[in-house]
Amino acid sequence: MAELEDKVAIVTGGASGVGAATAHVLAREGAAVVVADINAGGAEAVAKRIEATGGRAVAAAVDVSEDDQVAAMVATAVREFGRLDVLHNNAFLGSPEVMTKDAAIADIDPDLWDRVMRVNLRGYALGAKHAIPAMLAGGGGVIVNTTSATGLVAELSRPAYGASKAAIVGLTRNIATQYGKQGIRSVALALCLVNTEALKANMPAPVQEMMVGHHLTTRLAEPEDVAEVVSFVASDRAAFITGCTIPVDGGVTSHTPSYADERRFMEAAG
């Protein structure tokens, strides 16, 4: 039997990248999946691909920062599949236009700050707010929150993004603490760069190569690398894991930033 047989999952940001890969992996493991995204067409396409391979999926158009839309998303899962067991809070605001303006804290536009927090943090809180009652009705569940290595260590830019990701770490702990005794687990996954289509389109190859140098692996993460961890955390094999943040970052947060430069220097020196 597949690990998530008879489970029902919601994946936000499911139209592409990590979200799309996770939706496919959860479906492969037997879960019925609500593919949720502000990109309704993209979500529908992912759901259809899952169904074409024998899985169960429906699409839901949702702006995760809007309370009523998140409530409707959860209602879709319960209406279509009868319950809710897994929520992967994965949607985030990370467009190049936003990221380039999220520069120095002394220059931050308060409206940009609020916009980032509204999606990256409020969206996750709203997901939990509406998912938890549905999970409790079925005896429990798992919330997996996508955070970032930048929520654990800082960069020279993107303070709003980094602060939102750090707050997700705290939110994860709070959910686990408040609802653990009622059968709900909450885990965050701290990602570094993931080799999505958006990354390939927006990050120059030399920068990608530089970032590979800072990994302790030989490559960047693929979306499926993250999806497999989400599937594991959502399964009963991870029943004793909650209230924590798991790095899925190729070792980036395990060493000092000078590591890559020292390594290149030693290689050049022979």
Helices marked H in the chain: 17-28, 40-52, 67-81, 96-101, 110-117, 123-137, 159-179, 197-202, 205-214, 223-234, 258-269
Query: Quick one: pLDDT band at residue 210, thresholds 50, 70, 90?
Result: confident
**Whole-number Å distance between alpha carbons of 128 and 235:** 18
| Any domain includes 2 | no
Which pLDDT does position 256 carry in this prediction?
A: 82
| Any domain includes 66 | yes
Average pLDDT, the chain: 95
pTM: 0.94
pLDDT, one tens digit per residue, over 64-117 is 999 999 999 999 999 999 999 999 999 999 888 899 999 999 999 999 999 999
Return the active site residues: 161
| Any domain includes 118 | yes
Residue 261 is part of which domain span? 8-269
Task: Provide the number of structural domains found in the chain.
Answer: 1
Q: Are 7 and 30 in contact (CB under 8 A)?
A: yes
| Any domain includes 1 | no
| Any domain includes 20 | yes
- Residue 106 sits in a domain whose CATH number is 3.40.50.720
